[in-house]
Structure 1
Amino acid sequence: MRGTDWLLLTPLARFGDLGLLLLRGVTGAFLIWQSHDNVFSAERMDEFVKFLDQFGFLAPELMAPLSVWAQFLCGFAFLLGLATRWAGLVTAFNFTVAVWMVHWPQDFPGWWPALILVFLGILFATVGAGRYALDPWLAGRRNDDRDQAEAAR
């Protein structure tokens, strides 16, 4: 092994897919945890509608369930590594709106949780799920189906 490998820790690159799995897992679990109460409780959803209304969101009766269900479903998508790039885009968009509409007047530490979710969404949208996910399996299966269809011709 070269000296620069140790300096740059290049041997750790072989664990990149494991790192993505762990990051997807904790991100997905967090999104599910923070949204599940609104999904399963009409009372909590009403509180969230009022919260959005107080910050000037248009149509909070529509935006609250849309945001909550997006977080909840993206959480499961991240856990499974299913439609990960789409879930990343939805998460980045949802939390960009949160930063802009809710956290903007706060100091940087107040932005931090939502801001991190913006950048995690961007990361998952650009990098994907990694090897330990359903996305690569579906992509391989889709390619197998296409190959079988072409072979049948």
Structure 2
Amino acid sequence: MFENRPNIFSKKYGQWGPLFIRLVAGYHLIQGVMDNILYRLHMQEFISFLREHQLPYPTLAYLSVYTQFICGCLFIAGYYQRIAALLMIINFIFAILFVHIGDVYANTFPALFMLASSLSLFFSGAGKLSIDYYLQRKGKRNKRYNIR
């Protein structure tokens, strides 16, 4: 009976979905790297952790940490959403391949969650409750950068 009717609720409120993903994923990104940004010792521990996993350039830890922080802020604001999501897709594919292969699921889950969230935001965009949507409506963003 209900499955044959158009889902009026999701049509009306469907644009809230990306907001919830953006807020949780953005907060998780920021919270996960703040200690590395604020405390030099934590960054050195992260570099040592990467060296233990035989990553070729452990100083890329700085790039990863600051990219996660910036993209977390962009996720929350809904600004340059697809670019931020693409950067996080790349980051977490590398994290899963180089650090979490062979690891237990509980340790791998945060990286999988971030990869899935980033993929979702890459394909869906930021939604209507975002800076991207506001700028597109004002005509300040290139039309090819489709927000939806």
Report the TM-score, using the length of structure 1 for normalisation: 0.84
Q: What residue is the counterpart of 2:106 in the other structure?
A: 109
Amino acid at match of 1:97: F
Q: What residue is the counterpart of 1:151 in the other structure?
A: none
Q: What residue is the counterpart of 2:121 in the other structure?
A: 124
Task: Tell me if the contact between 1:80 and 1:133 (Cα under 8 Å) persists in the aligned partners.
Answer: yes
**d(CA) in 2 for partners of 1:23 and 1:5?**
28
Q: Secondary structure at the match of 2:138?
A: helix
User: 1:3-152, aligned counterparts within 5 Å?
Assistant: 3-4=2-3, 11-61=9-59, 63-142=60-139
**d(CA) in 1 for partners of 2:99 and 2:34?**
20
Unaligned 5+ segments in structure 2 are 144-148
Task: Tell me if the contact between 2:18 and 2:124 (Cα under 8 Å) persists in the aligned partners.
Answer: no
Relative to 1, partners in 2 of residues 1:145 and 1:84: Cα closer, same or farther, differing over 3 Å? closer
Deviation at 1:138, TM superposition (A): 1.6
RMSD: 2.2
Task: Tell me if the contact between 1:30 and 1:75 (Cα under 8 Å) persists in the aligned partners.
Answer: yes
Higher helix share: 1
**d(CA) in 2 for partners of 1:53 and 1:109?**
22
**d(CA) in 1 for partners of 2:134 and 2:84?**
17
Task: Tell me if the contact between 2:136 and 2:142 (Cα under 8 Å) persists in the aligned partners.
Answer: no
Task: Tell me if the contact between 1:103 and 1:110 (Cα under 8 Å) persists in the aligned partners.
Answer: yes
Q: Secondary structure at the match of 1:142?
A: coil
Aligned residues, how many? 143
Amino acid at match of 1:128: G
- 1:117-137 deviation digits (Å, cap 9, x = unpaired): 111111111110000000011
Relative to 1, partners in 2 of residues 1:42 and 1:11: Cα closer, same or farther, differing over 3 Å? same
**d(CA) in 1 for partners of 2:84 and 2:71?**
5
- Indicate the percent of aligned positions where both proteins have the same amino acid: 29
